[in-house]
Structures are given as structure tokens and as C-alpha cells.
Structure 1
Amino acid sequence: MPEPVTQSVSLPPDAAHAVRQSLGLGAQSALRIAFVAGPGDAVGTFDHWQKGAHDPRTPVIAYSSMFYSVADALAADVLMLVEQDRQPAAPDPRFRFIHTPRRRGRRGIGYRLDERAFTACVLRHLRDFRPDVIIVGTDAPNALIAGLPATRRVILTAHNTFWPMGRRPVSLKARLRLRAKSWALRRVDAVVNTSGECAAQVAALSGPSGTRSFTEIPQVLPDWYPETLTPAPTAERLLYLGRIEANKGVFDLLGAFDAIAADRPTLTLDIAGTGTADAPLRAAIAASPHAARITFHGQLQARDVHDRLDAADLLICPTRTDFAEGLALVVVEAAVHGVPALLSSIVPAKALLPGACVTFPADDSAALTAALRGIVDTPAEYGALCAALATKRHQFRERSGSWGSMLYRALVA
């Protein structure tokens, strides 16, 4: 039997009463929650949720899907401020969706004007709704967070880090930018974090404010969780899965593969994803002396992502220091399939999988090559990674650690 979508969160039977009590509301009072959603398709996820189904487009359970389940259990009235200009297929009076357009991609004065227009639009709708709780993400403009109307609780959902792990910027411009973010975060009462690194950075910026902090463990869809694993004896089928950008390290990986492939004729590399560097990557693959063993799949659907993971022996996530990685969910997806990972030192997902991944210093191509060679040439090391992974992947199906369950804890904190 498929898992009911509402079981992606773990709530006590008296959740509705407990949240109202925590917020200072009467037991029979209306509860109004506003969610400033990000760029994801929250409307499409709602269509799936209404049918009692998880959104199959995402390999992990969508945050918005978990939010709908929490709001439903709390008998809340919801305002969803979304970037999609459309409405659910079957409207529900408990969930109101309003389009708040956010133009992206411009720079300079154009960027500032776009962010100002988005902020004004969101704040206007929030003032009209008069919510008891506002949920907002770290990608919201500082002026939006700082200018949130009076409410009983502001909850920040921290999906991204503000700087690469272990490398807080020290330039004057960066310090001024972080000071503005720090000022805005004083408006926050509680935080739900995607990773321990997100939690640490939010705490570093918000200071001794008494903000309650909760960290989720990403949860995978039941259909994507193999019940049994059969690890390969050696790591021969390498996989990169993510955005195709230079700062994600995909070109560093290609160089490392070329450096060791000549003496290892059975070694292959699959690359999946899309981005602004698609064309340069195709050219680099074509120029490789081992191009016949490198496959660029482009963008994959969720089912195809898991087919690739099923076929892989080792995932490589070589993110460079000019990209602030919030967690790297692909490491979780790979772990569920029993696929260990080779990670750069700024990928926070390693904290979830001690002993089940190998790290190398970010931006160090020689270190990446050496680490990759060590795993490929040492079956015992690779086997130890697989064995450690088999004992840790269960956490990604323990719904008490889900984002929705942590959201509930933030509501009653």
C-alpha cells in the first residue's frame, strides 16, 4: 500500500490545541498561517496533495506537501504567496493561493527594483491577511523579513547557507551584506534548518536572540527506497548529478576522470543535470581522450534520477567554494540507494553520513583526483563506505525528523 501523504509528518493527536495554546489563541480560535513560498511549484504540489499523493516530480518529499499536511492537521486557514501565476485544479477554501511575481536574473539597479517590487507585493498581502504565523525562506529579501507585519510568530525556513561551509567571507562588501541579513533575522522567532550548517550560520548571524532552532532530516518518497541493497565489489560507475555550472565542480571532476581513466578501462562517468555550462561541458567531453566512456544525460525526471542512482557505484559532489551549498540533497538520494559519495569539504551533507563518504579540500583538483583514485583502487575502502551507508540510510524514512515535523516543533516552541 502507498504511504498516505499525511504520514510524511509526525504530529501528536492534540497538535491543533497545542499550537493554539503556544500562540496564545483560544482552543476554538481560527489559526491563520501565511507561507511565502519560494520558486518551486507549490501549486502543482498542492494538486498532488489534494489527491492524497506525494509530488512524484521530486525525489525527496516536498516541503510544501508537508506544510499542507501540517496545516490540515491544525485546521488552519492558509495564505500561500506563490511565484506561479495559476490556481489549483480544485480550489479549497482553507488554502488561498495568491500570485506574487518575482522577476529574477537582472543585476544592478534592475535587481534592486525587482526585489523592491516583490517585497511590496508580499507585504501588502500579508497585512491584508493578518496571519498569526508567517513562514518565510532565507531567499527572501532582507527588507521583506525586516518589514513583516506584527504577528504571533515568524518562522524562517533555512534552505541555503549564506557562505560556503567553513569560509565566512571577510571582505568589506560581504560583511556589510551579512550585517544587513543579521539585522533582518532579528525579526525571526524560530528556524527550521535544512542542515546543521544552515543552523550554525543562522545562529552566527542572529546572535543571542533566543531564536529556537530545529534541523530536519530530508525524507525520501517510499517508492524511491530500495528495501534491499546489493553493493558492487568496486567503484567503476561514477556519477555526477546536479546543476551544470563551473562552481559546482563538474569540470574538476571531468579532469580527475581523465587523469585516472587511462589505466582503468572499465571506469565510466555519467553526468546528469542542466545549467548555463551545458555547451562548454559538451565541448570538454568531446575533447576528452576518454569521451566514449563519458555520458552526458542532460536533465532527468525523478524516476530517471533514481534509475541512474541504481546503476551507479559512486556519487561525486565536487562543489567549489564560490557556491554556498545548503545540503546537497543528491547525497541523500544516493545514500538511500546505497551509493557512497565523494564530497568537497564545503558540502554539508557529510554530517548526516559519518563514515559513509569521503571528503577532499574544495577547489583542490589534485586532491579530488587523489581521493577518487583511492576509492577506485581500494575495494576494501569502498566496501567500508557501502557498509557504513547501509546502517545510516534509515534516517531518511523516519518521519519524526521531517521538515514538517520540525515545523510543528517550531510552532509549539
Structure 2
Amino acid sequence: MIEESRPGIPDRGVRFRSPNPNVRPFLNQIFSIRRFTADNETRHLLPIRESHLPKASPQPSASTRKRILFAAGSGDVAQTLERWASEQADTRIMAQAYSAQIYTLAHQRNWRLFCFPNNPCQPLRRGQISVLPFPKPTKQGLHFFVEEIRYGYKLARLSKRLHVDLIICATGMHPLGYLAASMFSGKPIVISLHNTLWIRGQEAPKGLRGIILRNSARFLRKRIARVVAVSDEIRNQVLQLWKLPPDRVAVHVPQYELASMPSSSPSNDLPRRILFAGRVQTHKGIDDILHAAKILEDDQPNTYHWVFAGEGPALANHQATAQDLGLDHATTFLGQVDRATLIQEITKCFVTITPTRATFNEGLAKLPLEGAILGRPAIVSTVVPALDLLEDAAIGVRPSDPKDIAHAVQTLHENTDLYLAKCNACNRVRDLVTDETISFRTRIAQAVDAAINNQ
């Protein structure tokens, strides 16, 4: 049984009364949440000051503006809001920022938008749009599931305090978190998914993880209003696991401004430049690229040059591996680069490469798309859903297989007709990434309209 805190007693959130004394502390640990205050005792649990939260207003009627809670991801949504409000182009990333598209939608629809990124930031308000930090703890094992449920419950508490009409949840959460948010908020929820539920090409999880996924899905399918996914692979998995009607799950395609991204013909000069760009982590497959580079360097010296753009925890290890393999002359590590530099690197390259390993739930991967926009085909691991979108503009390779990577690179180098055919196939991608009808903003607008109208 659930009871709310009684009058005159400090609010500690929901409390469970269970006849089983062993169950009660565990349930209270999951669902306990303190009030939104600025005292030192509670700030670490929910780092939002009372003064930062907008004052609660009466429940809005149908004639007033809609109040929307946007649970954002880990991007710098506050800086994006600053740039959006001042009509400055965001030069930090290639694609149109998802949060900027939400801001535009809020402006067009006259929403009162409360944006809560899952990482620390400075509170900010511009017009009817507020950004407030709502950090999401990172845990492992069973504590991960506990924190996911608690985070979803905290979102529900926020939605009640702010009297919102709907929640847009774009922060990555386990289905248990979505379930907690939907159960305790009582509001329609639109979920934006950017990662697969399991690895592309593999079966749905079994064991404890599979049991949790399937059982949470049984309840989610009745509570989730709409789902907007970044790839067909995610949509297919949602339909399989959550059993939602197909019209409740839509796919969007990242959108790009092509004025600064002209397509060009690749150079015939040697060495051929192969470009990786992204977060430098073990699951990105950079070690596999380096061993493929060693294979090709031994077979065809000075024919290929491998360029790595990005930073991350595995950067030093990969640089050491390149040195150990004797690839100093054949590799370049650029570190973090800005948008203009990345465009230059793609233009100079022969092909982009995204060899993600089968240990990461990749939702799409944008580098292959950005390479195709600029006229460069991609070598992509078969666990990467971007392969479906690229079609003939890419070659799929097995994850964690340097020999397959080396074979793909060599094939494109030696088979000119095949390479040019894949370059021509890139034109289709340029059409997709400028189609407003399948943009994130359009799909979210459609999902919100359907969710509110079906209440």
C-alpha cells in the first residue's frame, strides 16, 4: 500500500507500508524523494534550488497554453537555448540540435516549456522556455535499476509540481524508468529513443535482463502515448517488445543545413584517407581499425592514411597501440575538432568508417550520414542502424573483425566502379536529411498532438 506524507511532517515523498519488513526498506529506497529545497541535506539528491523552479500555477484549462516537460539528454541544451534565442547558428555540431527543434516547436505552438537536461548546467530562461539541471546518477548492477526507477519517479513529481500537460522524454532510460514516470505522473508521455533496446542483428535479451524488459513492456504499452525513434531498427524492436500499434511509433531522420556542406568529388591522390570521428571509447572499434591498418600497411605500404577525430577515455591507449604497431606515419589523431574542421576532414577523406563493436546499443551513428552528405561512402559495422538508411552508400563489415575492415577498404580502393556507384548513392541521403516531413520536430509535433487529443 502507498501513502503520502502526512500534514505537519516533512515531505519525504511516497512511503510504502508492507506486511513484509524485508520488502519495505527496499521499496522506500526506490521511491523516496525529498522536497525541492536548497538546504545542504537534500541538494545532492535533487540539485534544483527552490528559486530556480517556476512558481506553480493553477491547473491549466483547455484555453490556456500547453505546459510541456522536456526531459532532455546529455547535450548542452542551455547553450543551445542561448544560441537559438539570439538566432545564432550552432557551429558545435553538424546536425540540427534536437533541443533547438523542440525550442522552435515550443515557440510555434506557444508552449510553456520546462527543459530538464540529465547533466549539470546553469539554470536559464528565455521567454516561455526554461532550462533547469536534473542530473541522472550513473550506477551499475541492481543499483542501476533502482536509480532508473527513482529518476522516472522524480520526473513524475516534477510534472505534478509544474502542472504540465505532457512529458517528452528524450533522456536515455531503462523501460523501468519510463514506467515509473508514466505511472506516477498520470500524464501522457512521448518517448524519443536514440539507442536500440538490444544490439542490432542479435536476439532480444534473455535471462534477468530479458525478464525485466518483457515485464516492464507489458505495462508500458498501455501508458506510452507515442514513441519517436531515430532509426527503423529501434522502431522494429519497440514494436516487437512493447507490442504497440504501428501508428504509435514513428521514425525521424536527423536534419542538416546543406548550404555549408557541399558535395564534392573525392580526390584520387594517395595515400587514401580513411576517417573515424566520434567519442573515443573501446566499444567504438578503434582498436579494430588500427589492426586493419596494420594488415594493409604490411600488404600495401603508404597506400592508406587513417585519421581519428575525437576525444575520450581510450584515446591514450589507442595512440599507444598505433605506436606499438609501427603506424605512427600512417595515423593521425586530431583530438576534438569543430564543425568546420570536420567538414574539411570528410571532404579530404576517401571513405568514413564506423566499426562499432557488438557491446554497444548504437541507435543510428551520424558520421556515416555526414560523410554521405558530402559525397563519401561509409564502411559501417553491421550492428550500426545507419546501415539501413545508407543502403547502397555503405559497405557493412562484421564487428570486431579487422580482416573484414581491411578487405572492405581494399575493395573500395581497387574497384573504382563500385566506389563511384556508392558515391552516387550518397545523393539519396542528401534528400533524406533535408526532408522536413520526417524531421525530429515534425515527428514530435505529430506525437504531441495525437497524445493530447487522445486523453
- Tell whether the 8 Å contact from 1:248 to 1:318 is kept in structure 2 after alignment: yes
The aligned residue for residue 103 of structure 1 is 137
- Tell whether the 8 Å contact from 1:243 to 1:274 is kept in structure 2 after alignment: yes
- Which string of whole-angstrom CA distances, capped at 9 and with x for unpartnered residues, describes residues 14-46 of structure 1? xxxxxxxxxxx84x3321111111111111111
What is the CA distance between 1:304 and its match in structure 2? 2.0
SS in 1 for 2:224: coil
Query: What percentage of residue pairs aligned between the two structures are identical?
Result: 25
What is the CA distance between 1:337 and its match in structure 2? 1.1
Match of 1:331 among 348, 368, 384: 368
Whole-angstrom CA distance in 1 between matches of 2:203 and 2:260: 36
- Which string of whole-angstrom CA distances, capped at 9 and with x for unpartnered residues, describes residues 88-138 of structure 1? 3xx33412333222233x434654565455344322211111221111136
What is the CA distance between 1:390 and its match in structure 2? 2.8
SS in 2 for 1:353: helix
Whole-angstrom CA distance in 1 between matches of 2:253 and 2:205: 31
Q: Is residue 2:174 matched to residue 1:137?
A: no
The aligned residue for residue 153 of structure 1 is 188
SS in 2 for 1:392: helix
The aligned residue for residue 442 of structure 2 is 405
For residues 230 and 397 of structure 1, do their structure 2 counterparts lie closer, same or farther at Cα, with a shift above 3 Å needed? same
Whole-angstrom CA distance in 1 between matches of 2:149 and 2:350: 47
The aligned residue for residue 278 of structure 2 is 242
The aligned residue for residue 62 of structure 1 is 97
- Tell whether the 8 Å contact from 1:133 to 1:151 is kept in structure 2 after alignment: no
Whole-angstrom CA distance in 2 between matches of 1:143 and 1:390: 41
For residues 222 and 382 of structure 1, do their structure 2 counterparts lie closer, same or farther at Cα, with a shift above 3 Å needed? closer
For residues 360 and 144 of structure 1, do their structure 2 counterparts lie closer, same or farther at Cα, with a shift above 3 Å needed? closer
Whole-angstrom CA distance in 1 between matches of 2:176 and 2:197: 16
Whole-angstrom CA distance in 2 between matches of 1:268 and 1:152: 53
For residues 294 and 375 of structure 1, do their structure 2 counterparts lie closer, same or farther at Cα, with a shift above 3 Å needed? same
The aligned residue for residue 47 of structure 2 is none
Q: How many residues align?
A: 385
Q: Give the aligned residue type for 1:237.
A: R
SS in 1 for 2:433: helix
TM-score, scaled relative to structure 1? 0.86
List aligned pairs for 1:222-241, cutoff 5 A: 222-226=258-262, 228-233=263-268, 236-241=272-277
List aligned pairs for 1:158-237, cutoff 5 A: 158-183=193-218, 185-186=220-221, 187-208=223-244, 212-226=248-262, 228-233=263-268, 236-237=272-273
- Tell whether the 8 Å contact from 1:181 to 1:205 is kept in structure 2 after alignment: no
- Tell whether the 8 Å contact from 2:292 to 2:405 is kept in structure 1 after alignment: yes
The aligned residue for residue 12 of structure 1 is none
Match of 2:128 among 84, 88, 94: 94
The aligned residue for residue 344 of structure 1 is 381
What is the CA distance between 1:53 and its match in structure 2? 2.9
For residues 392 and 122 of structure 1, do their structure 2 counterparts lie closer, same or farther at Cα, with a shift above 3 Å needed? closer
The aligned residue for residue 80 of structure 2 is 45
- Tell whether the 8 Å contact from 2:238 to 2:244 is kept in structure 1 after alignment: no
SS in 1 for 2:337: coil
What is the CA distance between 1:161 and its match in structure 2? 0.6
Whole-angstrom CA distance in 2 between matches of 1:96 and 1:369: 49
- Tell whether the 8 Å contact from 1:216 to 1:406 is kept in structure 2 after alignment: yes
Q: Give the aligned residue type for 2:128.
A: R
Q: Give the aligned residue type for 1:330.
A: L
SS in 1 for 2:437: helix
The aligned residue for residue 290 of structure 2 is 254
Q: Give the aligned residue type for 1:126.
A: S
The aligned residue for residue 7 of structure 2 is none
Q: Is residue 2:60 matched to residue 1:30?
A: no
Comparing both chains, which one has the higher relative contact order based on Cα–Cα distances under 8 Å and sequence gaps of 6 or more? 1
Whole-angstrom CA distance in 2 between matches of 1:209 and 1:398: 25
For residues 248 and 96 of structure 1, do their structure 2 counterparts lie closer, same or farther at Cα, with a shift above 3 Å needed? same
What is the CA distance between 1:177 and its match in structure 2? 3.5
- Tell whether the 8 Å contact from 1:143 to 1:184 is kept in structure 2 after alignment: no
The aligned residue for residue 3 of structure 2 is none
- Which string of whole-angstrom CA distances, capped at 9 and with x for unpartnered residues, describes residues 229-273 of structure 1? 223347811111122222211111111111112314231110112
- Tell whether the 8 Å contact from 1:142 to 1:184 is kept in structure 2 after alignment: no
What is the CA distance between 1:376 and its match in structure 2? 1.8
Match of 1:122 among 130, 141, 155: 155
What is the CA distance between 1:336 and its match in structure 2? 1.2
Q: Give the aligned residue type for 1:247.
A: H
Whole-angstrom CA distance in 1 between matches of 2:145 and 2:388: 36
Unaligned runs of 5+ in 1: 1-24
List aligned pairs for 1:273-352, cutoff 5 A: 273-352=310-389
What is the CA distance between 1:286 and its match in structure 2? 0.7
- Tell whether the 8 Å contact from 2:266 to 2:349 is kept in structure 1 after alignment: no
For residues 113 and 174 of structure 1, do their structure 2 counterparts lie closer, same or farther at Cα, with a shift above 3 Å needed? closer
**Which of these two proteins has the greater Rg computed from alpha carbons?**
2
What is the CA distance between 1:195 and its match in structure 2? 0.7
The aligned residue for residue 32 of structure 2 is none
Whole-angstrom CA distance in 2 between matches of 1:179 and 1:162: 11
For residues 130 and 144 of structure 1, do their structure 2 counterparts lie closer, same or farther at Cα, with a shift above 3 Å needed? farther
Q: Give the aligned residue type for 2:402.
A: S
Whole-angstrom CA distance in 2 between matches of 1:371 and 1:232: 19
Question: Over aligned residue pairs, what C-alpha RMSD do you find?
Answer: 2.4
- Tell whether the 8 Å contact from 2:77 to 2:131 is kept in structure 1 after alignment: no
Whole-angstrom CA distance in 2 between matches of 1:197 and 1:308: 29
Q: Give the aligned residue type for 1:367.
A: D
Unaligned runs of 5+ in 2: 1-60, 451-455
